[in-house]
Chains A and B, each alone.
Chain A
Amino acid sequence: MTRDLPGVAHDAPAHVSGPHEAYLALLAEGVLGFQACGSCACVVFPPRGRCSGCGADALMWRASAGRGAVYSTTALSPRDKPPYAIVLIDLDEGYRMMSRIEGVDAEATRIDDRVSVRFTPAGEDVLPLFVPDRGDR
């Protein structure tokens, strides 16, 4: 069954306890991690301890290809920095996450746009931001 789960199998990061810490540690390795359930095949994000689909203690870390489509988008124009787009992305592996779109005007992002992850340093962390796939609108 594990072979049929979306994404690529990935070891849980060593020396990390909680699921959120593990997610951050994977990002630091350049891996966009999510979880899939070895019992019911549910895809789970953000990370947690047990499957929220079936309750089994059978979640396994997977590496996402970091590609998906914009489910919804909103542009913010703060006074102190350039405008940016906050989006919800449906990843191809079957989960949804919030992120921010880079490399295009905030107002230019459209629902259904195809996007790809770009790991971006942010202080001590790495953020999984996304950029539009060119010519794929």
Chain B
Amino acid sequence: MDERQLRGHTAIVGVAESDLGEVGPGVTALDLAEQAAGRALDDAGLSIADVDGLFTHSAFFPMPSVVLGERLGVRPRHSDSTATGGSSFLAHVRHAAAAIETGMCEVALIVYGSNQRSASGGLVSSGQNAIPSYEVPFGPRLPVSAYALAAARHMHEFGTSREQLAEVAVAARRWAQLNPVAFEQGDLTIDDVLGARTVSSPLTVRDCCLVTDGGGAVVITTSERARDLPRPPVFYLGGAEAHSHMSISQMPDLTRTAAAESGARAFDLAGLSPADVDVVQLYDAFTINVLLFLEDLGFCAKGEGGDFVSNGGIAPGGHLPVNTNGGGLSYCHPGMYGIFTLIEATRQIRGQAGDRQVPDSHVALAHGNGGMLSSQVTVLLGDASVL
């Protein structure tokens, strides 16, 4: 058996967000997961009775797929709570493609929900760590300090400037202004980003993702069944996972992420190269992420990410459309953003992205990040023209 045979055999047939932003008191993470799941099944023209594979991860409840199964009334043949932080949901897509191919399930539902803004007002991380850490007594503010260390190193090695990092936040805001459900819609300039409060130098609060509520869901089934459903199928072309460390002090090289491995493997499986990609969705927990992932996924050479995003390079009208929903920086970030890269990639390929629609989107790359630049998962999706 060769993983290449998964190419084009499954398709995303339904996607949806729950209510986003600040849902207010009384609405739980599970409520938002349920809402997203129902809406995604409606989008797919399927019902809960069709679901036999359940995939989820949560920082709010243990045994996530079991808890969600009870709530939704799903008794899955295949259950997967793979937990690689914000990249989990992209890993779930690859696992679902393999499970469907081998007959372990036929309709896979991937779900996420978080009410971190309403519940705590701060980023909620997966699991309270019962393993002693030698790092914690020094007082890093995690995760932001980990990403700040990477940004400082990137600036040192490649001459990347503060302004270039800010370009990422400004581009995200300009896309968000085209997305009616984006949380932040106001104008944002490079000077605004540089002048904002420093959280962990060199990163200011505008280099950091939002803290919002929100959920999302994705439905995947066989390509054969997908052709009979109401939405145009968005085919799974290839996906790959990689992780290199958990703690930032164990990252072998702060300017080179495991996205270089996941990206290369995903492109190989899909038979594609970065030049074939029409629209890119990257997990932008912090501005530095976007530079690192553009480099490591092969959209530009190592060290050239700063130049690549300069002068609106990834903003509307730039040379590569990146994070067209406004990303975790301006659209929504409930804690584990990965599922939203899949939702936006699907909408762009379907041609359903409204004012932010990228013309002729046939191939999309969705990339998830988890931990401290730790886990990297890349998924390539496309329409029928690239099969």
Contacts of A67 in B (CB 8 A): none
Measured in the bound complex, the distance between the Cα atoms of B248 and A72 in whole Å is: 11
Contacts of B135 in A (CB 8 A): 98
Q: List 29 A-B contacts (CB under 8 A).
A: A23-B134, A71-B153, A72-B150, A72-B152, A72-B156, A72-B254, A73-B152, A74-B200, A74-B203, A75-B200, A75-B201, A76-B139, A76-B141, A84-B139, A86-B138, A86-B139, A86-B140, A86-B145, A86-B200, A88-B149, A88-B249, A97-B134, A97-B249, A98-B135, A98-B140, A98-B249, A107-B201, A122-B137, A127-B138
Contacts of A127 in B (CB 8 A): 137-138
- The residue of chain A having its C-beta at the shortest distance from the C-beta of B154 within the complex is A72
Residue total for B at the interface (Cβ-Cβ under 8 A):
26
Measured in the bound complex, the distance between the Cα atoms of B145 and A74 in whole Å is: 7
**Interface membership of B132, Cβ < 8 A:** yes
Instruction: Tell me if B153 and A72 are in contact (CB < 8 A).
Output: yes
- The residue of chain B having its C-beta at the shortest distance from the C-beta of A86 within the complex is B140
Give B264 Cβ to nearest chain A Cβ, in Å.
24
Instruction: Tell me if A111 and B153 are in contact (CB < 8 A).
Output: yes
**Interface membership of A39, Cβ < 8 A:** no
- In residues 145-187 of chain B, which contact A (Cβ within 8 Å)? 145, 148-150, 152-153, 156
Instruction: Tell me if B145 and A76 are in contact (CB < 8 A).
Output: yes
**Interface membership of A133, Cβ < 8 A:** no
**Interface membership of A2, Cβ < 8 A:** no
**Interface membership of A46, Cβ < 8 A:** yes
Contacts of A125 in B (CB 8 A): 137
Residue total for A at the interface (Cβ-Cβ under 8 A):
25
Contacts of A118 in B (CB 8 A): none
Contacts of A50 in B (CB 8 A): none
**Interface membership of B198, Cβ < 8 A:** yes
**Interface membership of A100, Cβ < 8 A:** yes
Contacts of A86 in B (CB 8 A): 138-140, 145, 149, 200
Contacts of A111 in B (CB 8 A): 152-153, 156
- The residue of chain A having its C-beta at the shortest distance from the C-beta of B148 within the complex is A74
Interface centre among A46, A84, A100, A129 (most CB of B within 10 A): A46
**Interface membership of A10, Cβ < 8 A:** no
Measured in the bound complex, the distance between the Cα atoms of B150 and A74 in whole Å is: 9
Interface centre among A72, A75, A111 (most CB of B within 10 A): A72
- The residue of chain B having its C-beta at the shortest distance from the C-beta of A73 within the complex is B152
Instruction: Tell me if B248 and A88 are in contact (CB < 8 A).
Output: yes
- The residue of chain B having its C-beta at the shortest distance from the C-beta of A77 within the complex is B198
Contacts of A100 in B (CB 8 A): 138-139
Not counting A71-B153, A76-B140, A86-B149, a sample of 4 additional A-B residue pairs whose C-beta atoms are within 8 angstroms of each other reads A76-B200, A77-B198, A96-B250, A97-B134
Give B122 Cβ to nearest chain A Cβ, in Å.
14
Instruction: Tell me if B149 and A72 are in contact (CB < 8 A).
Output: yes
Measured in the bound complex, the distance between the Cα atoms of B137 and A75 in whole Å is: 16
**Interface membership of A99, Cβ < 8 A:** yes
Render B185-222 as a binary contact track against A, CB cut-off 8 A, 1 for contact: 00000000000001111110000000000000000000
**Interface membership of A137, Cβ < 8 A:** no
Measured in the bound complex, the distance between the Cα atoms of B149 and A84 in whole Å is: 14
Give A36 Cβ to nearest chain B Cβ, in Å.
17
Measured in the bound complex, the distance between the Cα atoms of B140 and A97 in whole Å is: 13
Measured in the bound complex, the distance between the Cα atoms of B202 and A67 in whole Å is: 25
- The residue of chain A having its C-beta at the shortest distance from the C-beta of B135 within the complex is A98
Contacts of A129 in B (CB 8 A): 138
Measured in the bound complex, the distance between the Cα atoms of B254 and A4 in whole Å is: 29
- The residue of chain A having its C-beta at the shortest distance from the C-beta of B142 within the complex is A86
Instruction: Tell me if B152 and A98 are in contact (CB < 8 A).
Output: no
Instruction: Tell me if B149 and A73 are in contact (CB < 8 A).
Output: yes
Give the 7 A-B CB pairs with smallest separation, nearest first. Answer: A74-B148, A72-B149, A75-B201, A72-B153, A98-B249, A100-B138, A111-B156
Contacts of B201 in A (CB 8 A): 74-76, 107
Measured in the bound complex, the distance between the Cα atoms of B198 and A84 in whole Å is: 13
- The residue of chain A having its C-beta at the shortest distance from the C-beta of B138 within the complex is A100
Contacts of B202 in A (CB 8 A): 74
Interface centre among A78, A88, A99, A111 (most CB of B within 10 A): A88
Render A63-81 as a binary contact track against B, CB cut-off 8 A, 1 for contact: 0000000011111111000
Contacts of A46 in B (CB 8 A): 134, 247
Instruction: Tell me if A20 and B132 are in contact (CB < 8 A).
Output: yes
Render A87-119 as a binary contact track against B, CB cut-off 8 A, 1 for contact: 010000000111110000001000100000000
- Given A72-B150, A72-B254, A20–B138 Cβ distance below 8 Å? no
- The residue of chain A having its C-beta at the shortest distance from the C-beta of B147 within the complex is A74
Contacts of B153 in A (CB 8 A): 71-72, 111
- The residue of chain A having its C-beta at the shortest distance from the C-beta of B200 within the complex is A74
Instruction: Tell me if B138 and A74 are in contact (CB < 8 A).
Output: no
Instruction: Tell me if B152 and A20 are in contact (CB < 8 A).
Output: no
